[in-house]
Amino acid sequence: MRLGIVSYYVRGSEYEPKTEDHALRLDESRSVVERLLDFLDERGVEAVVNEEAAVVIESDGVPVSEMGDIADVVLTVGGDGTVLRTLSHMHDPVPILPVNTGRVGFLAGATPDDALDKVAEILNGYEVERRERIAVEVDGETLPPALNETVIVTSRPAKIMEFDVFHGGELVESIRSDGVVVATPTGSTAYSMSAGGPIVEPCVKSRLVVPLAPFRMQVAPWVLGSDRRTTVVPTRVGKPATVVVDGDEYVEVGRGDEVGFTRAENDALFVDTGETFFEKVRNKLS
């Protein structure tokens, strides 16, 4: 078995900490990466690291986009953003075990304290949990798939937008709002929830459409089937908007541009650590 280790934000890289607390988390990420490498080396397990982490530990690294071709399991060290960024670079993902050195870490399956125990379990076999991703297109241009959500938001603050939302080719609703969140069930506990959307169990094959600060009080979130195409079209002249995929990919759109959403060809895969979705909600969101 060969394991990949991905950590973008470690102390010693070009990434500079923003606060003292942030610096401590970067130090912790580096410590976890080094302990994982020592642990695997002692057991004769081959490991590869991403290029950003390799610079810090003075080792050879590989692009994250190639991890799926050379690793059986990828360990991400960081917060949920590290997980999302890693998956955005993997068209056909291998199973991931996120080790949380961030804040909430809702996607995480391990902590710095139990990471080595979790990896030891993986070496003896593991089960996989599948999570739907959303394929995103802007006027035919393919963007990286989203595990959590895609947000279409006004490019200028405090400027209301108008959107037409279609599902399966039929108009669902015309919305006046600051933006729209299109989320997976996995993303229902992220930005979508903050915007007033429902929490959806990940096994439900669905897609959420949640308006941001709608003009009318009667506008409610939609839970749509993920088996059909959802399209969001900005309709107001002179009001530019930005499409943001999992907080990492940005594309400008304008009136009449079609932002299309379908189920991605390849799901995200997570190592099943035994913690249920409802346990995560109770433990991390309460």
Contacts of 104 (CB under 8 A, 6+ apart): 79, 80, 284, 285
Q: Which fold has domain 2-131+267-285?
A: Rossmann fold (3.40.50)
Q: In the prediction, which pLDDT does 238 show?
A: 73
End-to-end CA distance of the chain: 38
Q: Which residue has the higher pLDDT, 110 or 238?
A: 110
Residue ranges, CATH 2.60.200.30, the chain: 134-263
- Confirm if 97 and 122 have CB atoms less than 8 A apart: yes
Q: Boundaries of CATH 3.40.50.10330 in the chain?
A: 2-131+267-285
Distances in Å between the Cα of 219 and the Cα atoms of 112, 197, 211, 212 are: 42, 12, 8, 10
Instruction: Give the pLDDT of residue 16.
Output: 67
Report pLDDT digits (tens) over 213-263. Answer: 888 877 899 999 999 999 999 998 677 899 999 999 999 999 999 999 999
Partners of 175 in the β-ladder: 163
Span 16-21, average pLDDT: 73
According to DSSP, the residues that pair with 191 across neighbouring strands are none
What is the percent of the chain with per-residue pLDDT over 70, rounded to a whole number? 97
Residue 277 has pLDDT above 90, yes or no: yes
pTM as predicted = 0.92
For the 134-263 domain, the top CATH level (class) is mainly beta
For residue 188, what is the DSSP state?
G
What is the set of active-site residues?
80
Q: pLDDT value at position 59?
A: 84
